[in-house]
Amino acid sequence: MILTGTLINTGSIIVGGLAGGLAGRLIKEDTQDMLSKVCGVSTMFIAISGAMEGMLKIEEGGLVSGQGMFIILCLVLGTLLGEILNLEKGFERFGEWLKQKTGNARDTRFVDAFVTASLTVCIGAMAIVGSIQDGILGDYSTLAVKSVLDFIIILVMTSSLGRGAAFSAIPVFLLEGGMTLLARLIAPVFTDEAIAGISLVGSILIFCVGINLVWGKKVRVANMLPALIFAVALAYVM
């Protein structure tokens, strides 16, 4: 069935959010704060692992780093475009709308939880590769694996940040569902080099999400999202 992977992933986030909401009621506030920081540290190490995989290679028996100029160009150009479009504000407005419509008007952390969780589970090569595989081959195995990871991430985030994290299911459904339906059109664009570029730049963006979880909102990560578009474009040039 078409969109099977997207539905599994969306469902796992919803279930993780429900479980996290129940767990959050049993956990003291200072413990929730600590869980949020632990989640941030874990996110940063996962991101570092992904970034190093794209930057390091073995050459003549030693480790060699690269892709520095690629990263700088993607992040600078992407952030410049994102700041002009002010994507972060758009995310926040959508979060505020959701907060009102879902009866969470008194939840002061709702918007931050929604934006942080959405960026964490939407950015990355697994979402893109999995959606294309599901759309063209009917193979939803990659999205199924991602669903397990997202379940754990959203469970922890909901228990520590609040119910807004569970609503990250909406952008995940729209992003993965849209790419699955358009898979045959977008597949030629996402070459191996382009996917590697997205994975590298996406890992750096996820690292910034981790920074915000540990030290408070320091980086407007949503405004950096266009860097992923430049990662695809520059993959053909560099």
User: What is the per-residue pLDDT across 211-220, written as a single tens digit (0 to 9) for each?
Assistant: 998 998 889 9
pLDDT of residue 117: 93
The whole-chain average pLDDT of the chain stands at 90
Q: Tell me the pLDDT band of 155, cut-offs 50, 70 and 90.
A: very high
Look at 205 and 56; give whichever has higher pLDDT: 205
Query: What CA–CA distance (Å, rounded) separates 12 from 205?
Result: 23
Q: Tell me the pLDDT band of 106, cut-offs 50, 70 and 90.
A: confident
Token pair recorded at residue 9:
């992933």
**Tokens 């959010």 label which residue?**
17
Q: What is the mean pLDDT of residues 170-183?
A: 94
pLDDT of residue 174: 96
Look at 230 and 24; give whichever has higher pLDDT: 230
Q: Which of 70-79, 94-103, 125-134 has the lowest mean pLDDT?
A: 125-134
